[in-house]
């Protein structure tokens, strides 16, 4: 089979190469998938570049999520069958014609969910839903997030609305405002506009902001903290700027603010199967009903992987970049 692999860490478009690889065989509890589509996530790019919290032994396959057809079953696998279309996350080597997944992690897809949606339905949406519940925010409270036009930000805003949670969505450029409004996302503010903080306070009125979610870092972290109400939480989810968080000690002290980090991989280690199943079930149900919209910016063939990973890190994308694998 053909697949993408790398033997050194570095810029993905430089170190990733399409190679002839042996078709993997599923062990007990595993399934082999004939892959259809796989998204290029930020954590995939960071893993290949050696900048993520996990470094695989080299050489390594790339890609961590995708939709495919069950091609073979390992011993003891239940709940899925050969020929069934499923989505799986937590893969090692998803960017290949065939990949191995844990049988328990495979989620069957109804026909009402298209391949492009299915391919990206678990990792980022599950992060968004887990993050929302991780905050402990309640109906009627206010949440503010930056990087709101990212994959997690878009999903979080869509999931918060039916829960009665008010969300202020910050983006860095004016043209992203309409992008979010097209998804039915409200309260979108561009931070390149003058007096944008005053716009935030005009929306919330006298209600305090209970939670701030920071996916940018740098000065953006301090901006969010300055808008929090007393006893609020600042949650670090990502570092798109590549800069250290810069926050005011005064804001932390006098607001009695709490600063926390969020990493889904860590939470999944202790999450019960019941909770994981409940949340994934909600995502599948909402996607099937058209209540959860996941955008796609472009689809590339496997042979064009270098162009694909470069496109995936470009600013101004309106959705995920996907790799077509079969």
Residues designated catalytic: 52
User: Residue 322 contacts by C-beta under 8 Å, 6 or more apart in sequence?
Assistant: 37, 38, 39, 40, 116, 119, 120, 296, 298, 299, 300
CA distance 109 to 114: 9
Which tokens hold the place of 24? Answer: 């993997």
Measured CA distances, 101 to 26, 72, 89, 149, 254 (Å): 8, 11, 8, 30, 48
Question: What are the backbone angles phi and psi of residue 34, rounded to the nearest 5°?
Answer: -85, 105
- Cβ-contact 157, 169 below 8 angstroms: yes
Which tokens hold the place of 282? Answer: 């909600």
Cross-strand pairs, 50:
none
CA distance 208 to 232: 8
Report the candidate in 76, 4, 78, 77 with the shortest Cα–Cα distance to residue 35: 4
CA distance 275 to 185: 26
β-strands 107-108, 30-39: how paired? unpaired
């Amino acid at each position: 089979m053909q697949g993408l692999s790398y033997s050194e860490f570095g810029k993905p478009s430089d170190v990733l190469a399409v190679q002839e690889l042996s078709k993997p065989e599923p062990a007990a509890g595993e399934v082999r998938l004939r892959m259809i589509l796989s998204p290029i996530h930020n954590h995939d790019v960071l893993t290949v570049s050696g900048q993520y919290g996990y470094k695989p032994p080299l050489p390594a396959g790339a890609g961590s999520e995708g939709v495919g057809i069950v091609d073979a079953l390992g011993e003891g696998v239940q709940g899925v069958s050969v020929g069934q279309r499923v989505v799986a996350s937590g893969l090692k080597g998803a960017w290949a014609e065939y990949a191995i997944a844990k049988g328990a992690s495979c989620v069957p897809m109804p026909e009402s969910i298209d391949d492009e949606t299915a391919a990206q339905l678990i990792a980022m949406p599950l992060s968004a839903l887990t993050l929302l519940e991780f905050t402990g925010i309640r109906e009627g409270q206010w949440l503010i997030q930056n990087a709101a036009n990212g994959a997690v930000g878009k999903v979080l805003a869509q999931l918060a609305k039916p829960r009665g949670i008010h969300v202020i969505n910050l983006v860095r450029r004016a043209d992203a405002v309409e992008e979010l409004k097209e998804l039915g996302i409200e309260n979108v503010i561009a931070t390149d506009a003058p007096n944008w903080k005053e716009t935030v306070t005009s929306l919330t009125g006298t209600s305090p902001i209970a939670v701030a979610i920071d996916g940018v870092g740098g000065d953006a972290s301090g901006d969010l903290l300055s808008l929090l109400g007393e006893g609020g939480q600042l949650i670090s989810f990502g570092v798109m700027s590549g800069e250290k968080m810069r926050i005011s000690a005064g804001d932390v002290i006098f607001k009695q603010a709490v600063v926390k980090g969020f990493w889904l991989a860590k939470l999944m280690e202790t999450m019960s199967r019941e909770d994981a199943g409940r949340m994934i079930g909600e995502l599948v149900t909402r996607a099937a009903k058209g209540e959860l919209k996941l955008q796609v910016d472009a689809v590339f063939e496997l042979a064009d992987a270098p162009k694909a990973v470069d496109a995936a890190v470009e600013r101004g994308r309106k959705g995920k970049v996907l790799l077509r694998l079969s």
